[in-house]
């Protein structure tokens, strides 16, 4: 039986089309119809094997000379890699096949014939070639596994915040105020005015607190980062949460619970993908370790990297300390000089903020930054002035403090940073389907 008919998607013959996952779960059906992409091909003697890929997994297809018709055998043998095909045949248990099941094809239709695959071993001379070909290279096993883990992390955040009664909001990405300082702002021409791409939705979250009390957000953030590192993108997705009547302690508990929940979820649902990536992911024990900034400074110094009090923690210091950790940890009590203007300080230590970074273990670096905000008008106005910033630029943000603002705190966590750590990726670019960096805005 060949299947030249029915390209319009109507069901043909007795077998309904199954997803590969459905088939691998059912197993006991005698026959099945599947469709997907030819991820790989091999031939031994009179048998051709195709590794078929669909959105749910991989399935081994075999076509045996003398069992399949000559037509079917020939089309399987000749089908180019990445062609889209529909296959029908007998389902057989086979321990050697991935998933333990093989489909012996007796019907084979090419829905979309592919040209010769351009990403060959000889063509791949450099990492930049792969990035140039990213629209195609994302079909690779590791990319697919990474994206499924990323989706699981984001989905876990949706579930976690919904269960905790946080309202999901959205905020503009065209903005005029710098949340995280002027040096990483992308400027855009906005009808004769200047606007910027948002670095963080935090100020909008703070505005939303009065009506919603607990909010969270998941949207792109932009940073004109002039650094080429394994952890910086110019456009990334950020999960942010902000809560009224929550101090910095409560804020850290929220973050650690969220991270533990996301890891748990990935361990529960994405074992196959972790295996494809060769990632041994450990479930973090709560509470996570808290290391004061000063303590971390000493730890880094003892490992050979020194930095002055007041500086932001250098990447190398962060890396060295985190290499000796198996779970994420907080670095608390950041000096004000290393923080954005809105951070609250301790009454008895006006140079120290009620803020923390959440650092991933094993050298992956910062996952999140959070803190308690200045919630009163005059202290915030004074802080803005003391840092030589124009209060007019923050007028509505200041205004919020005039009309009922309780103590509150929040944090932001980069989705690609979290994915990079959870999936164990060398570079943050792999955690994004189409990464944006200083040198790349295409494909
Ligand atoms: O530490 P950041 O700059 O903190 C804020 O933007 C706060 N306003 C968030 C808040 O309190 N609501 O950014 C937060 C997180 C970082 O910890 C990191 O995970 C991620 O965003 N991030 C980046 N991810 C990829 N590439 C970059 N260039 C990033 N910059 C920040
Ligand atoms: Mg930070």
Closest C-alpha residue for ligand 1 atom 24: 414
Q: Label residue 180 by pLDDT band (50, 70, 90).
A: confident
Report whether residue 420 contacts ligand 1, using a CB cutoff of 6 Å. Answer: no
Average of per-residue pLDDT across 294-323: 94
CA of 366, nearest ligand number: 1
Write out pLDDT tens, residues 344-381. 999 999 999 999 999 999 999 999 999 999 999 999 99
Q: Label residue 14 by pLDDT band (50, 70, 90).
A: low
Closest C-alpha residue for ligand 1 atom 2: 369
Measured in Å, residue 116 CA sits from the centre of ligand 2 at 45
| 330: pLDDT strictly greater than 90 | yes
pLDDT of 123 reads 83
Question: Tokens at residue 152, please?
Answer: 């699981």
pLDDT of 15 reads 66
Q: Label residue 44 by pLDDT band (50, 70, 90).
A: confident
Measured in Å, residue 368 CA sits from the centre of ligand 2 at 6
Measured in Å, residue 150 CA sits from the centre of ligand 2 at 20
CA of 371, nearest ligand number: 1
pTM score of the predicted model:
0.94
Are the C-beta atoms of 408 and 380 separated by less than 8 Å? no
Q: At what angle do helices 315-323 and 293-302 cross, to 10 degrees?
A: 80
Q: How far is residue 394's CA from residue 125's CA, in Å, rounded to a whole number?
A: 49
Minimum-distance ligand 1 atom for the alpha carbon of 357: 17
Report whether residue 223 contacts ligand 1, using a CB cutoff of 6 Å. Answer: yes
Q: How far is residue 72's CA from residue 87's CA, in Å, rounded to a whole number?
A: 10
pLDDT of 182 reads 84
Measured in Å, residue 316 CA sits from the centre of ligand 1 at 18
């Amino acid at each position: 039986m060949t299947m030249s008919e029915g390209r319009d998607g109507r069901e043909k013959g007795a077998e309904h089309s199954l997803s590969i996952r459905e088939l691998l779960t059912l197993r006991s059906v005698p026959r099945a119809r599947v469709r997907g992409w030819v991820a790989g091909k091999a031939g031994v003697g009179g048998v051709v094997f195709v590794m078929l890929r669909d959105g749910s997994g991989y399935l081994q297809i075999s076509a045996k000379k003398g069992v399949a018709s000559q037509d079917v055998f020939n089309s399987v043998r000749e089908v180019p890699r990445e062609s889209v095909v529909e296959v029908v045949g007998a389902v057989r248990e086979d321990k050697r096949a991935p998933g333990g099941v093989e489909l012996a094809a007796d019907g084979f239709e090419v829905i979309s014939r592919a040209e010769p695959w351009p990403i060959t071993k000889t063509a791949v001379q450099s990492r930049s070639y792969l990035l140039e070909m990213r629209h195609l290279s994302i079909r690779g096993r590791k990319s697919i596994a990474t994206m499924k883990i990323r989706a699981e992390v984001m989905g876990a955040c949706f579930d976690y915040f919904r269960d905790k009664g946080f309202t999901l909001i959205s905020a503009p990405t065209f903005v005029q105020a710098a949340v995280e300082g002027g040096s990483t702002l992308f400027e855009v021409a906005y009808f004769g005015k200047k606007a910027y791409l948002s670095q963080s939705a935090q100020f909008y979250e703070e505005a939303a607190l009065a009506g919603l009390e607990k909010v969270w957000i998941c949207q792109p953030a932009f940073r004109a980062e002039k650094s080429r590192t394994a952890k910086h993108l110019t456009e990334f997705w950020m999960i942010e949460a902000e809560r009224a009547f929550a101090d910095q302690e409560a804020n850290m508990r929220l973050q650690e619970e969220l991270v533990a929940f996301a890891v748990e979820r990935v361990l529960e649902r994405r074992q196959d993908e972790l295996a494809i990536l060769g990632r041994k992911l450990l479930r973090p024990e709560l509470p996570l370790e808290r290391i004061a900034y000063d303590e971390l400074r000493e730890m880094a110094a003892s490992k050979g990297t020194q930095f002055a009090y007041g500086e932001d923690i250098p990447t190398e210091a962060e890396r060295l300390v985190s290499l000796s950790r198996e779970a994420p940890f907080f670095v608390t009590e950041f000096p004000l000089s290393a923080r954005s203007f809105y951070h609250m300080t301790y009454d008895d230590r006006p140079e120290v903020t009620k803020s923390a970074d959440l650092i991933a273990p094993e050298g992956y670096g910062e996952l999140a930054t959070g803190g308690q905000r200045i919630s009163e008008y005059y202290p915030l106005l004074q802080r803005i002035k003391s840092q030589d910033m124009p209060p007019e630029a923050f007028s509505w943000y200041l205004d919020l403090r005039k009309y009922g603002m309780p103590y509150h705190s929040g944090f932001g966590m980069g989705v690609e940073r979290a994915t990079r750590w959870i999936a164990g990726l060398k570079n943050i670019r792999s955690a994004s389907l189409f990464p944006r960096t200083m040198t790349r805005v295409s494909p």
